[in-house]
């Protein structure tokens, strides 16, 4: 009797646990559905991305946008490349203010002027205001870097200088979340690292992208690297500013590949004749070997 009572208690407890689990799952699904189906009346026109979103989403995007500032990027590209051969292209993006990067490279005397010019061109402010914003940004970034512990030790130029390709530096808007891409006609391009082209960069830190590039055509080609600061909204990235650079690449062809190109370009009737001649040659060579072997046995 006691065993029957104990079994009944256990069964009731299990049923209660399943009900609670199902209730929790239902609540989660309801919240998720509610977040995806926000009524249009609850949305606002967000001037940062020019879309209608909730006020909280717009505030988050605005905070990310205000953190975007002019930064530095550097690209390492093998040049020349070999057709059909794999090469690696590396991009480094640095979130530190330009002043710190110039100081790290020993060009601090040009840092203020460079920051002013970039900010005036990008934002349309006068030089005095841009310089004040730059100084304030420096202080904020330095304090954030101290808290985060992700300060980069080398600048993008210093990093790519250690790689085997040719190095190119360019300016870019840089924020917390960055997306990068590499494109070019006549190339097979595959992102090796990271898995996701969007990366989060710690304050004062860097991000690296590496692509595998295989040229498919000979001649002078162009590769374009693009960087973009983004905000993430419902799993989609929204652009907040970026930069790009295009570089001319010379694609060469190896001698053995030129021979193969010549053979594959022959008309079909010439290929047929070449095949017949090749077959006859093999037969003659085999017959001569057999004849030589027969004479050796006769002796």
Report d(CA 131, CA 136) in Å as an integer: 9
| Helix and strand element counts for the chain (H, E) | 8, 12
Domains and CATH numbers, the chain: 64-252 (2.60.40.10), 255-291 (no CATH)
The more confidently predicted of residues 129 and 55 is: 55
Ranked by mean pLDDT, which of 48-52, 240-244, 266-270, 271-275 comes out on top?
240-244
The more confidently predicted of residues 255 and 164 is: 164
Q: What is the pLDDT of residue 200?
A: 95
The residues facing 70 across adjacent strands are 173
pLDDT exceeds 70 at position 95: yes
Q: What is the pLDDT of residue 130?
A: 37
pLDDT exceeds 90 at position 52: no
Count CB atoms within 10 A of the CB of residue 229: 28
Report d(CA 77, CA 254) in Å as an integer: 19
pLDDT, average across residues 79-87: 93
The more confidently predicted of residues 277 and 161 is: 161
Q: What is the pLDDT of residue 127?
A: 36
Helix axes 111-123, 127-148, angle to 10 degrees: 110
pLDDT in tens, 183-207: 999 999 999 999 999 999 999 999 9
């Amino acid at each position: 009797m006691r065993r029957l009572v104990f079994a009944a208690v256990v069964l009731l407890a299990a049923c209660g646990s399943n009900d609670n689990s199902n209730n929790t799952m239902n609540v989660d699904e309801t919240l998720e559905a509610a977040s995806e189906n926000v009524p249009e009346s609850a949305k606002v026109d967000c001037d940062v991305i020019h879309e209608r979103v909730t006020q909280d989403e717009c505030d988050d995007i605005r905070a990310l946008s205000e953190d975007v500032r002019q930064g530095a990027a550097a690209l390492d590209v093998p040049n020349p490349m070999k057709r059909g051969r794999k090469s690696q292209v590396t991009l480094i993006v640095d979130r530190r203010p330009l002043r710190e990067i110039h100081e790290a490279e020993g060009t601090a005397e040009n840092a203020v002027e460079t920051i002013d010019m970039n900010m005036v061109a990008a934002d349309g402010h006068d030089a005095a205001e841009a310089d004040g914003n730059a100084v304030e940004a420096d202080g904020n970034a330095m304090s954030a870097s101290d808290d985060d512990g992700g300060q980069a030790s080398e600048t993008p130029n210093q990093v790519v200088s250690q790689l085997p390709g040719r190095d190119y530096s360019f300016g870019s808007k840089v924020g917390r979340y960055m997306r990068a891409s590499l494109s070019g006609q006549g190339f097979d391009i595959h992102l090796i690292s990271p898995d996701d082209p969007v990366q989060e960069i710690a304050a004062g830190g860097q991000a690296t992208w590496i692509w595998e590039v295989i040229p498919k055509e000979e001649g002078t080609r162009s590769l374009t690297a693009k960087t973009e600061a983004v905000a993430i909204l419902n799993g989609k990235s929204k652009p907040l500013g970026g930069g790009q650079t295009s570089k001319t690449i010379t694609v060469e062809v190896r001698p053995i590949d030129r021979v193969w190109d010549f053979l594959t370009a022959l008309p079909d009737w010439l290929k047929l004749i070449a095949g017949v001649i090749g077959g006859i040659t093999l037969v003659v060579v085999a017959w001569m070997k057999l004849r030589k072997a027969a004479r050796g046995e006769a002796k």
